[in-house]
Structure 1
Amino acid sequence: MSRAGKDAVRRWVAEMVGEGDLDVADELFPPDLAASARQWVAPFRASFSDVRMQVVALVAEGDQVAGRFRCSGTHTGTWLDHPPTGRRFDVDEVYFFRVDGGRIVEMWGLEDTAERLRQLGLA
């Protein structure tokens, strides 16, 4: 399962977040979570049109995957009710996933929103 779990997470990063392919949610998440995944990714990509998320490290054990990521982008659309600043952010993020049958069935994220706001000149 470790390999399938890591592969699902890599696809989420590359295809959904990186390329903006929201249709891949139907392959990566069970039906009850696919819509939620799209609802999270779509507005984030609209706010940061050049968003880039890089996998720094993935560790898997059983059905659990932990990942450290580097996320960057330019604030080109409204985000958290803040109009675009045109400024860039570059922050570390950590996510934990539970994968079942090659699909992400649970996901918890730790993002440094305060640092992102500071870099965008919003805090």
Structure 2
Amino acid sequence: MSAEKNKAIIRRFIEAYNNRNLDIFEELVAPDYVDHTHEQQGRDKFKQLFTLAFEGFPDWYESIEDMIAEGEWVWVRVEATGTHTGDWNLFGVPLPPTGNKITMPMVFFFRIVDGKMVEGGELDDQLNFFEQLGFIEYTEKGKSLFTEDSG
């Protein structure tokens, strides 16, 4: 497939889950999808991550900021936002709602073969994410080194 067709697949995928249409997984994700970030395999396991995220962040939304495609690979930079108003299960640990709104830049990468996403992963700033939720905070030394203005 062309780079433009692969980019269109990723746009459709992000638009669908932004609208909570998780049926798109059946159409666009291979049954044996490999998720490099969470070190798991299978479309259903990948889909479950979105279901869990939407329980914890019912208003989760990803705005596409930039996209690059070459060959079978597509990289997409998004700005994600969401409010932690629901229970969220992180690695088996239930985290009660904080009510905090987060904003997080993320980069996803996907390999597409025959119109299906077959593998992928993400890069994001987990430290900043947990800080926005109020689960961690910088030490005094950290606050002096990493002021909010340096961000």
Which structure 2 residues correspond to residues 1-123 of structure 1 after superposition, within 5 A? 1-16=2-17, 18-33=18-33, 34-79=43-88, 80=90, 81-123=94-136
Structure 2 unmatched ranges of 5 or more: 34-42, 137-151
Larger Rg: 2
TM-score norm. by structure 1 comes to 0.93
Give the number of the structure with larger relative contact order, counting CA–CA contacts within 8 Å between residues 6 or more apart: 1
The structure whose residues are more often helix, as a share, is 1
Counting aligned pairs with the same residue, the percent is 33
TM-score norm. by structure 2 comes to 0.76
Looking at structure 2, the residues matched to 67 and 23 of structure 1 have their Cα atoms a distance apart, in angstroms, of 21
Deviating beyond 3 angstroms after TM superposition, the runs of 4 or more aligned structure 1 residues are none
Structure 1 unmatched ranges of 5 or more: none
* Residues 49-91 of structure 1: CA deviation (Å, up to 9, x unaligned): 0011011100001111111110000001122221100110001
Q: Over aligned residue pairs, what C-alpha RMSD do you find? A: 1.1
